[in-house]
Structure formats: C-alpha cells, structure tokens
Chains A and B, each alone.
Chain A
Amino acid sequence: MSVTTKPERASGQPDIAEALKQAVWAALAAIALSIPILLFRAGANINNMLVVTARPVLVAGLVAAIFVARFLIVIWQSGRTTRTKSAGFAISPQTAFRLKGLLVVLLIAYPFIMYGLTGPLGSLKWINNYGIQILIYVMLGWGLNIVVGLAGLLDLGYVAFYAVGAYSYALLSTKFGLSFWICLPLAGLLASLWGMILGFPVLRLRGDYLAIVTLAFGEIIRMILINWTAFSNGYAGISSIPHVSFFGLPFEDDDSHPTFASFFHLHYKPIQQTIFLYFLILGLSLLTYFVTMRIRRLPIGRAWEALREDEIACRSLGINTTITKLTAFSLGAMFAGFAGSFFAVRQGFVSPDSFTFIESATILAIVVLGGLGSQIGVAFAAALMIGGTEILRELGFLKYVFGPQFDPVQYRMLIFGAGMVVMMIFRPRGLVSTRTPSIFLNEARTISSANVKEGHG
C-alpha cells in the first residue's frame, strides 16, 4: 500500500488547493448569475402595487452551497483517479481526514444555513425533523455498531437501553428534580449496567440464539415499563419532563431570572432551544464516533474484532472473552443510554410506545445497510433511512396523481423493504464495505510522522 500511496500524496497535495480555486470560481460565477436573476423578487402587494424585495440570504446560501458542492466534486474526482491508480483504498487517509473535517464543519453550519434560508419557522422543520432526528439515529447506529459490527454480537433488543436512558432522565428529573447535565452521565451509567445484566446470561450464546434472547430482553424491558405502573406510569408514560437548559440557563421568555436569551443579550426565540438541542446531539454523536475510533485502536477494540472472527482462537490467544463481550455490550448500551436521555429531554414526554421492536429493527437496519463495522456508512444509512421517511411526508404532490387519500408515509416500509432488497443484491456488504484497517503498517507510520514535522499532525 505504501508504494502506491506515496505518489498519490504527491499529486494529492495540490488537490485541495485546486479544489478551493475551482470552488471560488464557481462561487463567483454563481454570484454574477444570481444578482440579476435571484437577488430581487418582484411581487404585488394587497393594493396590486409592485413590490421589490431583496433576498440576500437566499443568494448567500446558494453561493455557499455551490462553493461546497464544487469543492466536494473536485475532491471526489481526485479520489476516483487515485482509486484507478491503486487497487487498494479509494481515498488516501489524508483526504479522508479532510473530508471528515469538512463534514463536521458543514454539520456545525447546518442549522444556521437553514435558519438563514428558511427563517425561524421554516427552519424548525429542517433542524428538528431532519437534523436532530437523523443524528439520534446516527448515534444509535454507531452505538449498536460496537456490539454488532465490531464485536459481532447480534443484538435485536438494543432499543431496551435507549428506553433505560430515556426513563432514567424522565424519572430522575421529575421525581428528584435532577438537572439534565447530572442525569446524562447517570443515564449512560444505568444503561451500561443493564448492558452487563443482559451480557452475563448470554455469554455462552452466539448467532441466532443470542439474537432471540436479546429480542426477548428488549420486550421484557418494554413490558416492565407498561405493567409496572407505580414505577413508570404504564402506557400513559411520563410527561412534563423538564426541558434542557444551556448549562443552567433555561430557554425561556422570562426576564425575572437569568435565561439564555438575557445572558447573551438576545431576543428570545423558541428556535434557540432547538438549535441548542441540535448541537447537543451533534456533540454526543461525535463523542460516540471518537470514542469508538479510539477504542478500535486499543487492544480491547481489536479483541472485539477478533471475537467477531473466531471466539475459540481468541481464547487460545489468552483473550478473556467474558470481559471482551461485556465491555462491548455495556459500551454500546451506554451510548444508547445517552441517546435515550437526549430523546427524553427533547420530547418532554416518554412512553413505552417509543421503544417497540420496530425501533430496534430500524437501528439494526441502519447498521447493516451502512456496512457492518463502518462508521461513515452507518451515518449515511441513518440519513437515508430517517431522512427518507421525512422526505416521504413532503411528497404531497403525489396526492394529485393517486387521489386525495394517498399518503406516501404509509408506504414507507414497502419502499424500505424494496430498497433493502436492491441494496443486498448490489451492495451485499453495506454502503461502505471497505473496512479501514485500525492500524497502519510501519510505512504508514513514517508518513504520519512526516506530517507531524510539517505541522499537520
């Protein structure tokens, strides 16, 4: 691999500069074109008078989008040329790192871009239904990826830990008045404890048998939540869960005490809380990502992968498979617990209906579609599955084709089923099927040390 990457890097280095140059030109062209076409909108007011409104935000958003798109296309194309050069990996680790950085920047900018483009009311849908909803599932997918993708333990009851996290925050905050920031780690802790409780009895099971027991476990948790009304209020669920605060500053329209808006001298808008929730789940997802990537490089992470490959060989190499499995279960459960408590604080209401088997199945489908063990693939699959559902709600025009009774959302599962069949035929190992090696050879190490000298490390 080293032999092929070195020339790639030599030609890969100016790629970023070239991409930036091309992106700037594309953006300038977009500005030139959009000033006469898009900037001013001529309309009529109530008195049928001509009104010209300027739309600088729209133009800025469009130009930004073109800039980013052009940049990505150039980088992607350079990635493709390297693929033809080396039969090995499609993108060099450096380009991959930069692409990931760019993706994070885009995700951070996303709520503001949407706010700028669609205003406070329109952006709510984009930030909440698309942004937050997808990120929750990205996080859940990454968490389950530890258990299924890395350690190879098929878990069909993953939603149970999500429920544990959600109810942990719901109960601790409503009964004991604990704040979200105290409950978040507690929820993770409780969920990982339950991960271990599930882990112990299933230590000897693998494959189908393990799947059935985890499925039952997920149902047991849900049944407890439904039937133990004194504890969890049954079907009715727990409502009026306190909302999230900005590290103690509430998002309220109230001048009597310090709030987020008054502290930062802003006008109160409900969207502020939504944007904060967006960043919260983005942070939690990135935490999941980095912890998983880090652990994959540690002995325990490699032990997970070895366990997935061959349990007997693992044991004969001196790996304690009991501990290895339990850590995978409890770590995966912990992230579900975090996501669960986020779910509770976002909804303000939890009930057993949110934690049915179909949720587990969706998360598992995301992991399998994305490619077992692939982090980026899982993120894309989550965007596709969850974003796809949301987009179906937008297809109102189909009503004109199929009649007013037609609701595309009803056909969600049919579409996903068909999509999954197609996927399994054409990409049976998931969207991103190449597994990045967690460790590089000596040659790659010398590359990275060279980068450190250049100040890229």
Chain B
Amino acid sequence: MSIEANAKPPLLEIKGVKTYYGNIIALKGVDLSVAEGEIVTLIGANGAGKSTLMMTIFGSPRAREGQILYDGRNISKLATHEIARLGIAQSPEGRRIFPRMSVYENLQMGASLNKFAHFTEDLERVYVLFPRLKDRATQRGGTLSGGEQQMLAIARAIMSRPRLLMLDEPSLGLAPLIALQIFDVIRDLNKREGLTVLLVEQNAFGALKLADRGYVMVNGLITMSGTGKELLARPEVQAAYLEGGH
C-alpha cells in the first residue's frame, strides 16, 4: 500500500540502493522517496540500516548499486562535500559537533558552505529557534548538555539554508521533554519555512506522529510504508516498535 508520489517529481528519490561494508551487505535494495515540503521518517530496530542509508545518501559509504536522485540528478557518485553543497544538510548520528570550538564557531562552520552570505540573519533565526544556544554562544561545544548539543547539531545544519535536512536520531539519549521540544522545532521549520525533512528515529511513536509519511526498515530492506497515521495504526508496527513504552 505504497503512497503514490505527487505529480511533482520528488526532491530525493532512492532506487534500488545496495550498500556493502566490505563483503557484508547492509542495504539490500532500498527504495524511498521524499517530496519537497514533506517530513518523512524512517523507523527500524538497531542494525536495520537506517544510519547506513543516511550516510549512503551523503556518499560515505557509497552505494554499490542503484541510484540516488536529488532534484532529478544522480548524486551517488559525488564526494560528500559536493553533496552537501547541493543543499542537503545533516545532523549526523552522534551529533558530531566540534567540541573544542565555541557554539558560535560551530554555527559559523555550518554557514561556511554558502560563504556567510546571510550569516547574521541566519544566526538570529537559529537563536529564535533555540534560545538556549544564544546563552551558550561563547561556551565550548563539548561542555554543552546532550540536549543542547543536539540543538547545536540541528542549528549548525540549518545554517547553510538547506533544501533537505536529514536528521539521524535527534531524540537519542534525551529526556522525553527535550525530545518533544526538538520535534516541535522540526515541525516548526517544516511548516513555516517549507523545509523538507528526512528523519531517522527509534522513537517510532514521536516520529510517526510528526511525519507526513513513514518507512519501516528491517534488515536492510523497506518492509512497510504509509502515512504516519496509517503506520501507527498497523498491528505489526505496534507490536514491533510501540508495545510497552507508550
């Protein structure tokens, strides 16, 4: 029961992507699409290949087979920094902020891609979204709390004014309330600025409630897809990801 893509071609389209780590196959032919202005979430258990897909879109590791089309162009052969320059930003797994640089410098690194063209403006925008970062601007990234680091990672990613924002487990290790705040910001960015979001999550309940559409990944393959509400209602999804916690 796949959702038919709209008349407009999707912003990101993944066709039959296979990724290997050495001889081990991690993605066994993944198909996925994200239309402009959508929030799409990818849920799945540990080791399903969610983060691998995220990194494959960014060209490290490369897809050995299949196509990754961004805005109609195959980007599967490009270097990571070239992909980033096309307007894709990510907040990677484990946040990967620069720990010994200040919050402000971290944000500057995010803006270096578009040569600081709208730096002051974007800084204000980010500070409105995450007022905590403004208070911590001179502090080193590594001294922030987990939630603040996650905010910084997202803020750094949107400093480049991307068209597509990819977030890898933004709620990982955060208190439920902070995770909710992060999800609120993602919704806000999507509604107000029309930012397209691809969200990888283990927190299936929160992610599916937030997303327009979702995909379920098991062992390197997409096994289910549908709107967020549909997936939340599916007994398989409830059994595998929602029982117990919610």
Contact = CB atoms under 8 A, between A and B. Distances in A.
Interface stretch (B3-11, B31-39, B104-112, B179-187): B104-112
B98 A439 contact: no
Contact of B100 (A1, A309, A313): A309
Interface in B106-125: 108-110, 112-113, 115-116
Contacts of B116: 299
A315 B160 CA distance: 13
Interface string A306-339: 1011101111111111000000000000000000
B104 A312 contact: no
Interface in A438-457: 438-439, 441
A302 B109 contact: yes
B110 A438 contact: no
A317 B105 contact: no
B81 interface: yes
B98 A305 contact: yes
Contacts of A312: 60, 92, 96
Given A312-B60, A318-B113, A319-B112, A302 B96 contact: no
A309 B92 CA distance: 15
B65 to A, nearest CB: 23
A308 B105 CA distance: 14
A309 B101 CA distance: 8
B101 A1 contact: no
Interface residues of A, number: 25
Contacts of B80: 315-316
B105 A310 contact: no
A315 B83 CA distance: 9
A14 interface: no
A437 interface: yes
A428 to B, nearest CB: 15
A312 B94 CA distance: 11
A206 B109 CA distance: 21
Contacts of B104: 439, 441
B102 to A, nearest CB: 6
B137 interface: yes
B85 A318 contact: yes
B215 interface: no
Interface in B156-170: 156, 160
Interface of A: 1, 88, 299, 302-303, 305-306, 308-310, 312-321, 435, 437-439, 441
30 contacts: A1-B138, A88-B138, A299-B115, A302-B101, A302-B109, A303-B112, A305-B100, A308-B100, A309-B100, A313-B98, A315-B79, A315-B80, A315-B81, A316-B58, A316-B84, A316-B89, A316-B90, A316-B96, A317-B81, A317-B112, A317-B160, A318-B84, A318-B112, A319-B109, A319-B113, A320-B79, A437-B105, A438-B105, A439-B105, A441-B137
